[in-house]
Structure 1
Amino acid sequence: MSLLAKLETIVQLKSSGDKFYDFYKNNFKDLLHVLPENLKSARTLEGKDAQVGCVQLWEYYLGTPLVIKMRLDAVDDQKKSITYSVVDGDLKKLYKSFLFKSEINGNTLKWTMEYEKANEEAPDADLYIAFATKIATALDAYLVNH
């Protein structure tokens, strides 16, 4: 049985796709103000924000306090895509590898998550695709009003 998996979801944005991409790329840590009930802290450990190679540590809450350390792997301004990989934290206990990718086309946001389970008992990443959708929806509403 393959332990590799991929999840995708689409979010229709009410705000400008360009505005959403710019915020997500350049003001990523400001998501703490957009979704404070789930996103607790963020700090850059290595590199510069919004630059490939940057490593960030996030504390978040999904029914229990969690930590994720992720690296910015790719930014494509033409395709409006951003890719992060998980390098440490709670997700690494469940998944050998975990990649988050966002891509915006017009006012459509596509989230893709590719991961390899650490073992057959590891759950699918449905909780994380739902969380990504929640973040996108909250940010979209914030951008419509600001």
Structure 2
Amino acid sequence: MSSTFALEADLKSKPQKIWESINDFSNLFPKIFPQVFDSVTVLEGDGNSPGSVRRINYAKGVPLTPITQKIESVDEEAKKMTYSVVDGDILKLYKSFRAHFAVSGKDEGTLVIYSGEYEKINEQVQDPGEFTGIIIKSLYGLDAYLLQAEKS
């Protein structure tokens, strides 16, 4: 049986800046967050467009093992992206894991909705809170990074 999650991040940066940064995940996130992301390696495609495959290696001390994501869809105009996890230990816990980013303007800033669907291998498996929590923390960190860069 599939389950869903949906988390929101209210950010102060402009929607276009957040969207561009999410789209540049492969290059930008390991530079901004070396304590979280050791490396992101593009295995197929350009790392940002549908069909691209990228391998994410987490930094030492992060309680996650490497995963491989495949970008399924990108809608530049609507600022939406969907990816699925196609390899990694996470698939020992979940039969499937698919996530969506949706970026939109909110007041003076940006609302990012990170949502998805997953199917547990069995009922003893916990919800993916540790994984999704790292993503949300990274979005707030990205916001702080962009705001600081704006001041410089």
After TM superposition, the score normalised by the length of structure 1 is 0.92
Determine helix, strand or coil for the equivalent of 2:66. Answer: strand
- Alignment correspondent of 2:7: 9
Equivalent of residue 31 in structure 1, options 19, 29, 32? 29
Structure 1's unaligned 5+ residue stretches are: none
> Residue 51 of structure 2 contacts residue 72 of structure 2 at CA under 8 Å; is this kept in 1?
yes
> Does the 8 Å CA contact 1:10/1:110 hold for their aligned counterparts?
yes
> Following TM superposition, where does structure 1 have runs of at least 4 consecutive aligned residues deviating by more than 2 angstroms?
26-29, 61-65
What residue is the counterpart of 2:89 in the other structure? 90
Counterpart in 2 of 1:110?
A: 113
Is this contact kept in 1: 2:64–2:131, CA < 8 A?
Answer: no
Aligned residue runs from structure 1 range 1-146, under 5 A: 2=1, 4-61=2-59, 63-64=62-63, 66-106=65-105, 107-146=110-149
Post-superposition Cα deviations, 1:22-58, rounded to whole Å, max 9, x if no partner, equal 1111353310121111111110111222111000001
* RMSD of Structure 2 on Structure 1 (CA): 1.4
Tell me if structure 2 keeps the 8 A contact 1:8–1:129. Answer: no
Superposed displacement of residue 63, structure 1: 4.0
Q: Percent same amino acid at aligned positions? A: 31
Q: CA deviation digits over 1:110-136, x for unaligned, max 9?
A: 010210011122111111221111110
TM-score of the superposed pair, with normalisation by structure 2:
0.89
Extract unaligned runs of 5+ from structure 2: none
Task: Figure out how many residues of one structure are paired with residues of the other and give that number.
Answer: 144
